[in-house]
Structure 1
Amino acid sequence: MPPPRLNHQNLRNESTAKDKTGTLDIPVKFLDQDYQELRKSCITNKKRFVDDKFLPDSSSIDPKKKLKLDLDQIKWLRPSNIVADPQLIVKEVSRFDYSQGSYLGNCWFLASVGALTFQKDIMDQVMPADQSFGKYYAGIFQFRFWRFGKWIEVVIDDKLPTINGKLIFVHSKTSNEFWPALLEKAYAKVCGSYADMHAGSVSEALLDFTGGVHVYFKLKKTSTDLWSLMDRAAKAKALMGCSTSQGDTSANTVLPNGIVQGHAYTVTEVFEVACQGEPVRLVRVLNPWGKGEWNGAWSDKSSLWNNVSESDQSKCRSLAIDGEFWMSMEDFTENFRAIDICCLSPDFLDSSSKCRWTSTCYYSSWDAGTTAGGRPSNKETFWTNPQFRVRIEELDEECASGQCPENILVSLMQIHENRYRSLVSNYAIGFSVFVIPLEMKDEKFPAKFFYNKRPVEASEKFTQARHVMKFFKLEPGEYLIVPSTFNPNESAKFMLSIFLRSETHRRN
């Protein structure tokens, strides 16, 4: 089979008129289960739903017996068998509603949930609002997640794993509130089991909640003004998470300053205060454990709060033991390894109102023997990888002189089809960007084009991850983007998204 031609497909038009399946309006029925039909059947037959695709037994908790759990002790109970007055939501959804369970290392997921609670519109997408334990309760709930370019509808029953009548995984601080446990169960079903949620990256759940634009920065290795970018992201209703480096010993070691090693947190706000006349940029962070806080400068009991205005103290300072704390941007950069930001629109990337961002998405694959050429050093095969042409337009002075010099974001995601998340094997992936000379009009650039030609940009390195991205600047001109696996003949499907900064053209 010959390598595919260069293709151009706009993200907004990726679904044809005949097939809108996979959108929020018409999500894919996960495991072919239709919520409305199943619920109607339960109500008609006066039965409560039992999910035969995610059975209330050990196969849904820990099929490989990796967790330190006595599975024989576990009883699956509906909320009405746990408390007298179960509610999906008590008052309103909040980041303080829940605490992480003791048996499952899914802080990456719960840190993303913390970010999700700030955005009601996105929460309503993930957890449709017309559900309750009220009049038409049938023991069935639905959730929606974005998976590899498509929205899916996930149906679950409300049987939850307990020991001695207590939830063993995520649990609400209000005993009769169950949205966190049901959301976790729905995501566990997508992952294959609860154990399949063990260990992960914040970005994975942030993307699955939004289907949005994702940027990732290593805090000590970027020249980007991150606090300003985070401030714009917060104003744009982005979801943000961060993570700490793994310790030298076991994971989750709590350092003397209160920070947990190898742990994921939620970024809940950024704010600037005046301290003795000097501006201080602060970041507010939440530990998904629901406890355990930073105890350094600008922490809850820090004397530095005495040097700011009463209004700023009233707005920011809290002495509650809830896992949330403030710290300076400098301390944040020093103590955290990376930050992930996910937003529905890419416009937060730039500070100028004169600029906008356009997006294009491609679905393709690396196929062994034809289009899986490996990294650039594989001179004879690299050219066979899928190739994507992009044009960088020259911007007017006002748009080009914004605080953000970067004008392109490239995002590469592997698409997996394995039912069980823990069995997914990510290849080391990356992409390279080459200048296209004006005289070259080729649709598929041959091997000789890449001989002795170095890329002008590339992903930082080939990373064994589901998703890699880079935010950078290119001069006006035409370029070729070549995504690849590290080794030749590694077959996988992928999604390449390209976001470009352009001028805003308003109609008169």
Structure 2
Amino acid sequence: MDKMEVSECSIFINQEQEHAQQLTSSQIRGGVTVAHTTRRPIYKVQYTSFTLKDTTSMMQQFLRLSFGHTHTALWCSGQCTWLRAYGFQDQFPDVNVQDFYQLRDQSYTSGRLFEDPEFPATDESIYFSKKPNFKCEWKRPREISKNAQFFVEGPSRFDIEQGSIGDCWFLAAAANLTLIKNFFYNVIPNDQGFDEKYAGIFHFRFWQYGRWVEVVVDDRLPTKNGKLVYTRSSETNEFWSAIFEKAYAKLYGSYEALDGGTICEAMVDFTGGVSERIDLSRITQDSLLSIMLKAYERGSLMGCAINATADELEAETKDGLVKGHAYSVTKVKLFDFKTRRAEGQIPLIRLRNPWGQIEWKGPWSDKSPEWRYVPEDEKKKSGLTFDNDGEFFMSLRYFHSSFSELEICNLSADSLTTKTLHEEGSTRWEMSIFEGSWVIDLTAGGCGRFTESFWRNPQYLITLTDADKDDGDGKCTVLVALMQKNRRAQRKMGLEILSIGFEIFHLADPSRTPKPLTAKFLAQSEAVASSLPFINLREVTCRVRLQPGVYCIVPSTYQPNEEGEFIIRVFSETKNNME
């Protein structure tokens, strides 16, 4: 069959006849919809304006390759980055896939520096709604500094200083990333620079919904009066952080798309971990210390912030903290101390302001008198410095009372490495992952308030068999994370983040429980845990301790018939089985 233009093509697999017409009415276009109406999912594959050689056989091949297991959904927007991420370049030979090594060789051989056609040096790469109040001039690093380097004496958390866009959440996460070198070089490969084979092209890797995506960019950067507008290094000839930010902007469509976010969103994109937000007003100091020490020992990444109203954003408190601003947590440690009257240990938290300045002025700040009670060898072992670099210590007590929320990115087997930040013997979470979607009139049932439709939402069974090893109460620690897909990249299309959440139900007698759970069963059952309240974040999580047994997780949007795609991940300290 010759090439043909396909305006829309749909194929149904494992289709339940009673739902066929409903699925046909789905409004999703240009992607794959997966509807879990029964134990067997329904797949609807649609393409808009793709050129295919043989439509039917191509679609069948696509399904065969893409759905190796039965709980997969993916969004194919038609952008090369996504096609490359999911490995479909072989199925779509007409799509121009950016291969870093091939493009670098071509540019180097031709003597022409690479110019990225997918993310051009134009205004559309900077903004989609808010035009900046300056005239941007795009310059390459060697036009900014004669001695331009990718790294100066290796990567450091002090290489990152925020520019004129509100992406402190991304920069705080990037500072944490520098602390774990094997993670860092997975995201920012060490096979590029301004020396051998320099061709104006760089590449980076980001975790996106269960897969690692490579993003290629050129090194033309936005400047004003010859200086970088956005992220820069404290070393004026170091450019890894600026080019890294550009790659992240490309991933989401523009620099403006990075304006506003949570630290965990970026930390998850860098590691494949799972995020967790803790309201510090609802937790005791003892519980907070236990969570933070355990997270730090496990190599989890952490950040924090002080809530602020619109009028208080980036306002400095009298103690030197900034409201509505993201900080990196770079160390959690019990320090030995000794005074004339007492001796023991005190929990201290080290934080960094991505501005590279403005620090805490209270107890245990730089050069505060409390440090004289800490032995000199303890200070040296902790790498204690008192530079004006945005990094400082504060006690757990003041951390707990000063900050509003703590964000933790827990690492897992999906996070790629066997080493952690601190000790090779540290433990990691076990993880199960599934993908699905909410489809109008089919699997978008809304939250539990809507009793007649709630049961239509996707349902996932999880079996917990072994209790935690060290806690002694016979329970399992479980962290459930629900993440909606692609919403930041779709902001320029007018799509906002949905309010999402989930509920967890215990199945006392699984063999006699209807599958899927019915409206009557759910109405008569009380959830043992939930992610409440529903909130418009990319990812919502719930940490809970449960007895071994069988549970059902029901993810949903707040309102019925809100359409979107998601992944759901379950982390536990011991192995879990999910279906």
| TM-score normalised by structure 1 residue count | 0.89
How many equivalent pairs are there? 485
Residue 305 (structure 1) aligns with: 371
Q: Sort the Cα spacing of 1:340 and 1:418 in 2 relative to 1 into closer, same or farther, 3 A.
A: closer
Deviation at 1:32, TM superposition (A): 3.2
Report the 3-state secondary structure (helix = DSSP H, G, I; strand = E; otherwise coil) of the residue aligned with 1:435.
strand
Show structure 2 runs of 5+ residues with no match. Answer: 1-18, 21-35, 42-65, 76-83, 90-95
Residue 35 (structure 1) aligns with: 100
Alignment pair present for 1:329 and 2:401? no
Q: Sort the Cα spacing of 1:421 and 1:119 in 2 relative to 1 into closer, same or farther, 3 A.
A: farther
Residue 284 (structure 1) aligns with: 350
Q: Which moved more, 1:171-180 or 1:282-291?
A: 171-180
Residue 444 (structure 1) aligns with: 516
One-letter code aligned to 1:228? S
CA contact (8 A) 1:372 1:485 kept: yes
Deviations 1:416-439 (A, max 9, x none): 267444644111111111121315
CA contact (8 A) 2:257 2:489 kept: no
Residue 470 (structure 1) aligns with: 542
Residue 501 (structure 1) aligns with: 573
**Quick one: distance in 1 between partners of 2:304 and 2:574?**
29
**Quick one: distance in 2 between partners of 1:443 and 1:401?**
33
CA contact (8 A) 2:151 2:239 kept: yes
Deviations 1:443-490 (A, max 9, x none): 211111112322111113111111000110112222111111111111
Deviations 1:315-348 (A, max 9, x none): 3542210000000111111111112222432799
Q: Sort the Cα spacing of 1:54 and 1:248 in 2 relative to 1 into closer, same or farther, 3 A.
A: closer
Q: Sort the Cα spacing of 1:66 and 1:449 in 2 relative to 1 into closer, same or farther, 3 A.
A: farther
Deviation at 1:406, TM superposition (A): 5.4
One-letter code aligned to 2:499? A
Alignment pair present for 1:49 and 2:114? yes
Alignment pair present for 1:177 and 2:238? yes
One-letter code aligned to 1:75? E
Residue 11 (structure 1) aligns with: none
One-letter code aligned to 2:458? P
Report the 3-state secondary structure (helix = DSSP H, G, I; strand = E; otherwise coil) of the residue aligned with 1:217.
strand
CA contact (8 A) 2:412 2:431 kept: no
Aligned counterpart in structure 2 of residue 344 of structure 1, from 390, 393, 411: 411
**Quick one: distance in 1 between partners of 2:466 and 2:139?**
61
Q: Which moved more, 1:413-422 or 1:163-172?
A: 413-422
Q: Which moved more, 1:370-379 or 1:356-365?
A: 356-365
Residue 145 (structure 1) aligns with: 206
CA contact (8 A) 1:368 1:490 kept: yes
Alignment pair present for 1:274 and 2:306? no
Deviations 1:200-254 (A, max 9, x none): 1001100000011332212221367232332233233322211111147231000
Q: Sort the Cα spacing of 1:503 and 1:38 in 2 relative to 1 into closer, same or farther, 3 A.
A: closer
**Quick one: distance in 2 between partners of 1:344 and 1:221?**
24
CA contact (8 A) 1:305 1:317 kept: no
Residue 433 (structure 1) aligns with: 504
Q: Sort the Cα spacing of 1:226 and 1:192 in 2 relative to 1 into closer, same or farther, 3 A.
A: same
CA contact (8 A) 1:99 1:172 kept: yes
**Quick one: distance in 2 between partners of 1:226 and 1:7?**
42
CA contact (8 A) 1:161 1:168 kept: yes
**Quick one: distance in 2 between partners of 1:206 and 1:89?**
21
Map 1:58-457 → 2, pairs under 5 A:
58-67=123-132, 69-70=133-134, 72=135, 74-101=136-163, 103-222=164-283, 225-247=287-309, 249-275=311-337, 276=339, 277-314=343-380, 315=382, 317-345=384-412, 357-395=429-467, 399-401=470-472, 407-416=477-486, 419-421=489-491, 423-438=494-509, 439-457=511-529
**Quick one: distance in 1 between partners of 2:131 and 2:478?**
42
One-letter code aligned to 2:477? N
CA contact (8 A) 1:66 1:195 kept: no
Q: Sort the Cα spacing of 1:57 and 1:503 in 2 relative to 1 into closer, same or farther, 3 A.
A: closer
Note the aligned Cα RMSD (angstroms): 2.9
One-letter code aligned to 1:296? G
One-letter code aligned to 2:437? S
Task: Return the structure number with greater relative CO, CA threshold 8 A, min gap 6.
Answer: 1
CA contact (8 A) 1:388 1:481 kept: yes
Q: Sort the Cα spacing of 1:316 and 1:331 in 2 relative to 1 into closer, same or farther, 3 A.
A: farther
CA contact (8 A) 2:298 2:426 kept: no
CA contact (8 A) 2:160 2:171 kept: no
Q: Sort the Cα spacing of 1:367 and 1:420 in 2 relative to 1 into closer, same or farther, 3 A.
A: closer
Report the 3-state secondary structure (helix = DSSP H, G, I; strand = E; otherwise coil) of the residue aligned with 1:172.
coil
Q: Sort the Cα spacing of 1:247 and 1:86 in 2 relative to 1 into closer, same or farther, 3 A.
A: same
Deviation at 1:382, TM superposition (A): 0.5
**Quick one: distance in 1 between partners of 2:488 and 2:320?**
38
| Identity in percent | 37
**Quick one: distance in 1 between partners of 2:545 and 2:301?**
24
Deviation at 1:161, TM superposition (A): 0.9
One-letter code aligned to 2:399? F
Show structure 1 runs of 5+ residues with no match. Answer: 9-13
Deviation at 1:108, TM superposition (A): 0.4
Deviation at 1:411, TM superposition (A): 0.5
CA contact (8 A) 1:104 1:198 kept: yes
Q: Sort the Cα spacing of 1:248 and 1:199 in 2 relative to 1 into closer, same or farther, 3 A.
A: closer
Deviation at 1:503, TM superposition (A): 7.3
Q: Which moved more, 1:254-263 or 1:52-61?
A: 52-61
Deviation at 1:399, TM superposition (A): 4.2
CA contact (8 A) 2:501 2:555 kept: yes
Q: Sort the Cα spacing of 1:342 and 1:15 in 2 relative to 1 into closer, same or farther, 3 A.
A: farther
One-letter code aligned to 1:179? W
**Quick one: distance in 1 between partners of 2:297 and 2:441?**
47
